[in-house]
Structure 1
Amino acid sequence: MTVLLAELEIFHTRPAVPTRRVALGHMVLPVDPAPGFGGLLLGSVVAAHLGGLNDDQAADVHRLILEVGQGGRIVQPRLRHRFQVDRHGLAVSNHRLIGDGDEISFDFNSNGTDLSQVLGAIYAAERLAPEYRRNAADVLQKASRWRGPIGASFIAHLAGSQTTTLEALADPLGWALSTLGFELGSKKPSKREVTSKFRKGMRDVHPDHGGDRDHAAKAMSDLAEARRILSAKG
């Protein structure tokens, strides 16, 4: 079953028009728990389009992201583009993060310049509530330094996690409890309890103790990630 996890509409000047404008349209950007599906989508838009900028533009993009994270007022125009509310006469690009089963994928529909897409993502981050803006800016900075395909490795890079399944990203704590065999809704386990469950789980999934050899590596990786999440929460 396919589900929409995040969405961003960016309105921008049409290619043949000399003026340069950027506006925002429909936005679905959940950012809790961080980075959230919204943070992943904003980061992916930056990472996918930053390569089309020249060095001077890229440097100013980094400064703009820093200003957004600090909550400063962004003086217009910026990078020769003016951000506005009115969308009349502008073209639109639509970017989405899609969940299908337990898999996550990006759907980019860019009809404008690379710079207009990057600016749209940054201004969308600026529109987040103040308590989420700094984290979103950190995600954009990480995304701007990414070199590689926009896929599972990229998601792991932004999320700071080795597990990129839909369940783990939507509810890291609940996923970690379930992975280590704790009952959902139970009191927060101690580090000793987490370690005990982790060691038992590692024994159970190891091929030498009857575990499935084809899936042992992933199972061990999931157990280690679950332990990291619960240890950090403790």
Structure 2
Amino acid sequence: MVLAELEVFQSRPIAPTRRVALGSCVLPVTPAPGFGGILLGAVAGAFIAQVDDDLHADLDRLSHQLELGQSIPQPRLRHRFQTDHIGLTRRVHRLVGDGERMHLDLDTSDGTSPGPQVLAVVYAAGRLPIESRGPVMRVIRRGLRWRGRSHDGLIDAISGRGSGLVTALGRYRDPEAWALGVLGLAGPSPDRQAVQRRFRDLLRVAHPDHGGRHSGAAERIAELSEARRILLVP
């Protein structure tokens, strides 16, 4: 089962002008960072070690600029970002769910240049809704710091959730059961008052203004909000 997909178009390594473009992308990011954010962070981590070290600081800077919605001068990282795909080579990267596990299906065929793949990741995140962009960019920046080799370890590292990935897959297969688990409610179909009351209690615990940890707070609050939404849909 394909959970997220990123389509990248790049110029051939021997082309005189280096170009990169985005194609069709399926990047679900609710609750943030979602499967889309996990895929983007993982693609960044899978290719970053092959990108010239002197370009890493510019990648980090670009991620912050796009997160803020700033206009980006071209080229960046020696590549020009464009919308036209003509003459460019297609690469597709996927996050795939298999039972209770996720794995990466990355296109590493001959001629796949690492720079365009990482650039495409950052530009794809820059196109996301503003409320999702921050959490997704944070996951991407984890990927940019990755120096390991195992793709399975990469998914755990960039998501920051470890075994919680099983919960994410559970949400995809059975949203109501996932939501009940997130809110710690007995099912099926608790009444609206119970859902609202439990949501407020857990939100208070998670929110930094009430003593919750800053690290992961945005993701936890988004998760609680999504669980409440699922259970309160008429």
Among residues 67, 70, 74, which one is paired with 1:69 in the alignment? Answer: 67
**Partner of 2:159 in structure 1?**
159
Give 5+ residue unaligned stretches, structure 1: 195-228
Per the alignment, do residues 84 and 233 of structure 1 end up closer, same or farther by CA in structure 2, a change over 3 Å counting? Answer: closer
Determine if contact 1:178/1:184 at 8 Å carries over to the other structure: no
Structure 1 residue 181: Cα displacement = 6.6
**Partner of 2:106 in structure 1?**
108
Determine if contact 2:171/2:177 at 8 Å carries over to the other structure: no
Structure 1 vs Structure 2 CA RMSD: 2.8
**Partner of 1:177 in structure 2?**
180
Q: Which secondary structure state, in structure 1, belongs to the residue aligned with residue 106 of structure 2?
A: strand
Aligned amino acid, residue 79 of structure 2: H
**Partner of 1:89 in structure 2?**
87
Among residues 29, 32, 47, which one is paired with 1:31 in the alignment? Answer: 29
Give 5+ residue unaligned stretches, structure 2: 203-219, 226-234
| Distance in 2 of aligned mates of 1:132 and 1:55 | 28
| Distance in 1 of aligned mates of 2:11 and 2:78 | 12
Report the TM-score when normalising by structure 2: 0.74
Structure 1 residue 94: Cα displacement = 0.7
Determine if contact 2:49/2:147 at 8 Å carries over to the other structure: no
1:104-126 C-alpha deviation (Å, 9 max, x unpaired): 11000134211011001111111
Aligned amino acid, residue 157 of structure 2: H
| Distance in 1 of aligned mates of 2:153 and 2:170 | 15
Report the TM-score when normalising by structure 1: 0.74
1:142-188 C-alpha deviation (Å, 9 max, x unpaired): 11112324544433333332322153464898436348672144233
Determine if contact 1:13/1:112 at 8 Å carries over to the other structure: no
Among residues 56, 59, 66, which one is paired with 2:57 in the alignment? Answer: 59
Determine if contact 2:45/2:154 at 8 Å carries over to the other structure: no
Determine if contact 1:49/1:114 at 8 Å carries over to the other structure: yes
| Distance in 2 of aligned mates of 1:45 and 1:162 | 18
1:13-39 C-alpha deviation (Å, 9 max, x unpaired): 012211100001110000011110100
Determine if contact 2:46/2:151 at 8 Å carries over to the other structure: no
Structure 1 residue 74: Cα displacement = 1.0
- Rg bigger for which structure? 1
**Partner of 2:41 in structure 1?**
43
**Partner of 2:17 in structure 1?**
19
Determine if contact 1:168/1:176 at 8 Å carries over to the other structure: no
**Partner of 2:148 in structure 1?**
148
Aligned amino acid, residue 12 of structure 1: Q
| Distance in 2 of aligned mates of 1:190 and 1:94 | 41
- Identity across matched positions, percent: 41
Determine if contact 2:95/2:102 at 8 Å carries over to the other structure: yes
Determine if contact 2:2/2:94 at 8 Å carries over to the other structure: yes
Q: Which secondary structure state, in structure 1, belongs to the residue aligned with residue 77 of structure 2?
A: coil
Determine if contact 2:12/2:89 at 8 Å carries over to the other structure: yes
Aligned amino acid, residue 37 of structure 1: F
